[in-house]
């Protein structure tokens, strides 16, 4: 977006000074989502993890831009006060793309999902984005139609997203089919297997493998020349020795799905409910894995952003 266009929306979209400077000078920037902080991780660990994610991006040589709405203003890059609001305030709503303008117009606080973070990052010209695990097609979606807006948004947003595959609570096979239909390019980072978030391998292959940030940067350059309009998903697995025990994972997941059903949990509450169930039922093991996932993805996204601007 041009400086004039950014000025025009300055009342609604505010860039942190270091993010604005990096974008102006063509430096590496990594967008970070905030729903993982507000709704994905338990308090008070979430605030410490949010800071660690930003530190991981900085250590790898890029500028972190955590995205959220605070008092109705979209913030691209949060100061310490704003980060604390996102991590601690009960007034923060999970804001997907459909919710953004409502929260904005009403002056509310909103945490952005993968979908809304990708849209806002692209709006201001950020090309690289890190998350934990993408949303996707939920189990039973044939009946409920519960498919994350992450998918359809990535179909029309030309950004590079680093994630540990999609959340393992989903129907992974169906999600991969939808990603193919929606023209989202999927590459495995250092693997031929599609990661399963808490698990290193979801049981499905990836169409392409890369082994270095420079390889991703070469693909990004080709995408630009070819006019790619959908996202590039870099699937970065947990090392197998750091994953959740698969048998325990499957057991906890079945319990969580049954509990969600019994409690009548629907719509945007399903994902936070299941993640919270995991954190409780695994006595912190899933929190440990979730934290390692997001830190590793933030660092890799930063290395990719550095490689992209170096070309
Ligand atoms: N991955 C995580 N924790 C999270 C999420 C993803 O490790 O909290 C969030 C992301 O913000 C993602 C959202 O975009 O869950 C998907 O929610 P839904 O299934 O309602 O679209
Ligand atoms: Mn949903």
Q: Which numbered atom of ligand 1 lies nearest the CA of 163?
A: 1
pLDDT in tens, 80-100: 999 999 999 999 999 999 999
Q: What's the CATH code of the domain at 122? A: 3.40.1790.10
pLDDT in tens, 213-241: 999 999 999 999 999 999 999 999 999 99
Q: Which residues, other chains included, contact 217 with Cβ-Cβ below 8 Å and sequence gap of 6+?
A: 304, 307, 308, 310, 311
**244 pLDDT more than 90:** yes
Q: Domain range holding 187?
A: 3-244+294-310
- The residue whose two tokens read 């117009």 is 105
pLDDT in tens, 99-108: 999 999 999 9
Give residue 10's pLDDT band: very low, low, confident or very high (50, 70, 90): confident
**168 pLDDT more than 90:** no
Give residue 8's pLDDT band: very low, low, confident or very high (50, 70, 90): confident
**6 pLDDT more than 80:** no
How many angstroms separate the alpha carbon of residue 68 from the centre of ligand 2? 20
Domain assignment of residue 176, yes or no: yes
Distance of alpha carbon 73 from alpha carbon 82, whole angstroms = 11
Give residue 113's pLDDT band: very low, low, confident or very high (50, 70, 90): very high
**Is the beta carbon of 147 within 6 A of some atom in ligand 1?**
no
How many angstroms separate the alpha carbon of residue 135 from the centre of ligand 1? 5
Domain assignment of residue 267, yes or no: no
Domain assignment of residue 170, yes or no: yes
Domain assignment of residue 179, yes or no: yes
Cross-strand bridge partners of residue 232: 160, 185
For residues 51-77, average pLDDT? 98
Percent of the chain beyond pLDDT 90? 94
Domain assignment of residue 47, yes or no: yes
Annotated active-site residue 33? The verdict is yes
Domain assignment of residue 61, yes or no: yes
- The angle subtended at Cα 237 by Cα 271 and Cα 135, nearest 5°, is 25
**11 pLDDT more than 90:** no
Q: How many structural domains are present in the chain? A: 1
* Cα R_g (the chain), whole angstroms: 18
Domain assignment of residue 274, yes or no: no
**190 pLDDT more than 90:** yes
Q: Are 237 and 229 in contact (CB under 8 A)?
A: no
What is this structure's pTM?
0.96
- Identify the pLDDT of residue 233: 98
């Amino acid at each position: 977006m041009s400086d004039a266009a950014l000025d025009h929306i300055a009342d609604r979209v505010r860039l942190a000074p270091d993010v604005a400077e990096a974008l102006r000078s063509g430096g590496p920037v990594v967008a970070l989502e905030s729903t993982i902080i507000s709704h994905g991780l338990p308090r008070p660990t979430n605030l410490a993890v949010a800071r660690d994610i930003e530190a991981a991006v900085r250590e790898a040589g890029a500028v972190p831009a955590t995205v959220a709405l605070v008092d109705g203003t979209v913030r691209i890059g949060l100061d310490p006060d704003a980060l604390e609001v996102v991590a601690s305030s009960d007034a923060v709503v999970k804001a997907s793309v459909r919710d953004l303008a409502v929260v904005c117009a009403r002056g509310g606080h909103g945490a952005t999902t993968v979908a809304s973070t990708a849209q806002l990052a692209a709006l201001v010209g950020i090309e690289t984005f890190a998350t934990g695990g993408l949303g996707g097609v939920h189990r039973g979606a044939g009946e409920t139609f519960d498919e994350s807006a992450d998918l359809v948004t990535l179909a029309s947003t030309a950004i590079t997203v680093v994630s540990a595959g999609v959340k393992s609570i989903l129907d992974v096979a169906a999600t991969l089919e939808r990603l193919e239909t929606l023209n989202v390019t999927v590459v495995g980072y250092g693997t031929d297997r599609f990661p399963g978030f808490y698990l290193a391998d979801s049981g499905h292959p990836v169409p392409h493998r890369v082994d270095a940030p420079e390889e991703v940067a070469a693909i990004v350059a080709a995408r630009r020349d070819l006019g790619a309009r959908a996202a590039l998903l870099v699937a970065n697995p947990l090392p197998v020795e750091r994953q959740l025990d698969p048998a325990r994972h499957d057991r906890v997941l079945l319990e969580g799905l049954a509990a969600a059903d019994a409690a009548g949990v629907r719509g945007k509450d399903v994902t936070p409910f299941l993640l919270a169930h995991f954190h409780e039922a695994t006595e912190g093991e899933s929190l440990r894995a979730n934290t390692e996932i997001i830190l590793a993805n933030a660092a890799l996204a930063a290395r990719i952003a550095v490689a992209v601007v170096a070309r």
